């Protein structure tokens, strides 16, 4: 994800301005794709979900009576597949929708889907794939735009409950001729900061 921060209104002390704020460096996110089934189906239609070039298919049989049954069959097949199952978890959301969620945060996958008419009926069945939560890797920090013209000093302090592997550090030499300060921090780190400058 990324570094986010909030800044309070600057306070004036003598000829300097002081800015206080807080930061959050969110960790990696698991990719989530949403698949939606629609249209009319009949026996021998084939619904296929492909994850990282490995297809998993369900062929409609006479006993399939609704879209929910097709979703149930696809979810079971995806989760049981020896190649695709370790990459994603399939979960039924409702009668027309299911999701694929990456097994590991920060590890992307490529999913696609097809619905192919195999019967003698109407050819209007659909299976649509959409990325609803993009993959994101751990962030190691970023810039805090303090709103100051220049920064003479900058202090940070971790405040979150996450045990950090590395202390959050300021990656700058002061004084700075700009108001942008780069910090380096672990993913999921929270903290507060103070900038002093003009």
Do the strands 189-197 and 16-25 form a parallel or antiparallel pair, or are they unpaired? antiparallel
* Helical ranges in the chain per DSSP H: 67-80
Q: What is the pTM of this model?
A: 0.62
Question: Could you give the domains of the chain?
Answer: 3-27+138-197 (2.60.40.3940), 32-133 (2.60.40)
pLDDT in tens, 101-143: 999 887 889 999 999 988 676 767 888 888 887 776 666 777 8
Q: How far from 141 is each of 29, 129, 160, CA to CA, in Å?
A: 16, 32, 15
pLDDT in tens, 81-90: 999 999 999 9
pLDDT at site 1 = 47
Rg (CA), the chain: 25
pLDDT in tens, 8-38: 878 888 899 999 988 887 767 788 999 999 8
Predicted confidence (pLDDT) at residue 182 exceeds the cutoff of 80: yes
């Amino acid at each position: 994800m990324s570094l986010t921060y909030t800044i309070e209104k600057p306070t004036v002390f003598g000829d300097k301005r002081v800015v206080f704020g807080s930061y959050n460096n969110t960790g990696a996110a698991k990719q989530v794709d949403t698949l939606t089934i629609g249209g009319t189906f009949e026996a021998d239609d084939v619904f296929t979900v492909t994850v990282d070039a490995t297809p998993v298919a369900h062929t409609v049989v006479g006993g399939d009576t609704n879209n929910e049954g097709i979703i149930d069959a696809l979810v079971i097949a995806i989760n049981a597949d020896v190649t695709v199952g370790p990459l994603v978890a399939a979960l039924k959301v409702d009668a027309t929708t299911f999701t694929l969620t990456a097994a590991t945060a920060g590890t992307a996958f490529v999913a696609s889907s097809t619905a192919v008419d195999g019967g003698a009926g109407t050819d209007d069945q659909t299976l649509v794939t959409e990325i609803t939560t993009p993959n994101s890797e751990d962030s190691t920090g970023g810039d805090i735009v303090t709103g100051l013209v220049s920064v003479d000093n900058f202090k940070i302090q971790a405040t979150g409950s996450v045990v950090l592997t590395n202390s959050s550090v300021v990656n700058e030499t002061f004084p700075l001729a700009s108001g942008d300060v780069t910090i380096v921090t672990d993913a999921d780190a929270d903290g507060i900061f103070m900038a002093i400058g003009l």
